Amino acid sequence: MNQGHFLNKLPAPSLRDYIRHYTFVDVPFAQTRQLEFRALPSSNTRIVLFLNGSSLQKVENRLLRVGACALVGFYSRSHLFLPTQSLQQVMIHFTPWGAQPFLDFPLSDITDTRAELQYVFRDGLDELLEALQREGPEGCWKETLDAFFIKKLKRFTSFNRRGRQIVRHICSTHGKARLNELSGELFIGERTIQRLVHNAAGINFKFFSMLARMEYARHLLNRRQSFRLADAALQAGYFDQAHFIHEFQSVYGETPGEFLKRKHKMVWNRLER
């Protein structure tokens, strides 16, 4: 498939502590049938803007229609989406701590679900969608998104700086930082650390750390063609390969070997940087 269908761009410098990157997806319907649109559990939340209508989500063998524009919370399990037409959408990938400052409700409220954007952003959304639809992937869509989020960013004054520091540290160690070691290093109680992480990222310390380890393992398996499974497990902090396989399957619903067989078909691998 032509890589041009997935275009990633960095946000303006003033937004990069909050937004990791933007992605413009433009895939003809005939090609959507050749790919797998499965959203995997991730350490960051996203906004998804379908520019040409909604899609379908498969939940327990039932097909449910999903809203065209939504903030997606943390997923504790993978979700399969089925495009019903040509797919044109914009995705805003937040840093693990970046979404909460834009919200007036706890991010933990939407774990494993979606918040419709008309309830999240009560003004400016219609104008944003019209501009994105008008410009398309070749237009100034990045600048349009930058202007929208910079305006939203100016409306809040408080920020969980200690929570951001801790979450950033967990990410930098790929989830291998232990709670008691982190407490001693930062001179902060373990309960306080757990509360700060939950408030900043929307999920608990243990699950967030596991997601960070799993994402690093997937990165190793994705980027290196001949990377051995045992080496990926070890670098991700697992000394027991069986334990690694068990956790990988509990998070992604399949073994690392099954993931490797299908990774080239998975759209998710093209959306991450």
Q: Is the pLDDT of residue 167 over 80?
A: yes
Helix residue ranges, H only, the chain: 29-32, 117-120, 125-135, 141-153, 161-172, 179-186, 190-201, 205-223, 229-235, 241-252, 256-262, 268-271
Q: What is the mean pLDDT of residues 225-251?
A: 87
- What radius of gyration do the chain's Cα atoms show? 19
Q: Which of 129-143, 152-166, 226-240 is predicted least confidently?
A: 152-166
* DSSP helix/strand/coil, 41: coil
Q: Is the pLDDT of residue 119 over 80?
A: yes
Q: What domains are defined for the chain?
A: 3-153 (2.60.120.10), 161-271 (1.10.10.60)
Higher pLDDT, 24 or 36: 24
Q: What is the pLDDT of residue 160?
A: 74
* DSSP helix/strand/coil, 115: strand
For residue 88 the two structure tokens come to 């044109």
CA 68: distance to chain centroid? 17
d(CA 94, CA 141): 17
Q: Is the pLDDT of residue 74 over 70?
A: yes
d(CA 129, CA 241): 46
* pLDDT tens, position by position, 199-222: 988 899 999 999 999 999 988 888
pLDDT band of 3, cuts 50, 70, 90? very low
Higher pLDDT, 86 or 253: 253
Q: What is the pLDDT of residue 57?
A: 63
For residue 238 the two structure tokens come to 């697992």
- pTM: predicted TM-score of the whole model, two decimal places: 0.85
> If we measure between CA atoms, which residue out of 155, 73, 79 comes closest to residue 114?
73
d(CA 88, CA 25): 5
Q: Which amino acid is at 18?
A: Y
> Which residues 6+ apart lie within 8 Å of 192 measured at CB?
none
